[in-house]
Structure 1
């Protein structure tokens, strides 16, 4: 039996770090990325570093249903789906509010829908969320939550705009609400996948030192305050998030399902206990 792994955003950053961990549990690894050159180079690196695992680039937009259908066909043709690390996503400085919801939440649901028929005993998925919604915001409103629970409805963007109000056009708020939607989606998906013996969880990174994280920090002073409020007194590293992801995908986490693993150095604990402040 050939075990197949999928990493979205696998050409760089936290996606690539996750991919570096997966040769321990898969025989073939598909690196899904929009950038063909980046994904191809990452596949070469991984194949050379882990000769027992074949890494392949797979160029796709996770919001493109045709591309996701091709991905599912490729996985099915290679073997059994064993692990999915869904690290692809965009942050507040990268797009407008509609695109943020489309990539970060709708794309997550579309990927799950495409791969769900391939899930079997031992299949594990980890979706990247964020600590952002855990710090508060409009996603706590039951009316917003109701809309978030149906991200594939055709009028989803109009409905979430109505539920949140004009504030949703602030890309920071849109990002937080979209990632709250990922938290909620994972819980619902865990119930759907359980009867097949498959699992799904999410990870919520805190302030992580990556190129994307540095771009956000340059445009959002609050991120610097979050680092200052972190009990470990530093930013996280991509490999630390990848290690948490690898654990959730491993057989060691075989009874861990439908939860979010917060990887934030304790900053949410500090904020919620009053030991840390964003002022």
Structure 2
């Protein structure tokens, strides 16, 4: 009898993921959550699943985060979870970032990102580690978006060690580096959408966070773009490569599946040259 009771309690705490054609239902013990995907517990779902399965699970949750931000009147700028009518437009970028992080998962203890925005990328990193991760994020944090994103992530992954440094990153990053010289990052994500002419400055500042075995993900734009600040971001990346500040890994790739939008966004992977 005692054994049966223990077994029942154990089974009651196991997550069961039930897929239907139109929605994901999450069951934890006696709590059933569906529709708006408000989840109060972390989900052990990233083991032994492929990108498509992971996207099927977390895609709806990302859409819920977007709706939560929009309902609160927060202004969400461009991000790799950009969607229209529930469809994600940057699947190539999502797939590549997913593979890059999971491929180095055993080496990653801390992720640093420039551009928290609404928290979508931070939620992605948290999902890939089931919250067992230290995440340091820098963002200007206009309106309520950082607070909303932070609360959403903590609700899903209460074990995550998330720290958001608010303010102008051209000042907050070097200030943080000066007072935290031992903080190093195994994966560095730079969303340069909002940095324009200071992109080169951002690349230089973030190099001080680079751990010995690290990877940098940098979102840029096509240097053939007719928009001046988009062109500047691509040139900043190329300048970092030519100046031997950064070593590029492979070819830069297009973010969007739609070729008509490809010229507005590319992403590159690389490594800082330690010591430069």
TM-score, normalised with respect to structure 2:
0.46
Q: Comparing both structures, which one devotes a greater share of its residues to strand?
A: 2
Q: Comparing both structures, which one devotes a greater share of its residues to helix?
A: 1
TM-score, normalised with respect to structure 1:
0.45
Q: Which has the higher contact order (CA 8 A, sep 6+)?
A: 1
Computing the radius of gyration from Cα coordinates, the structure with the larger value is: 2
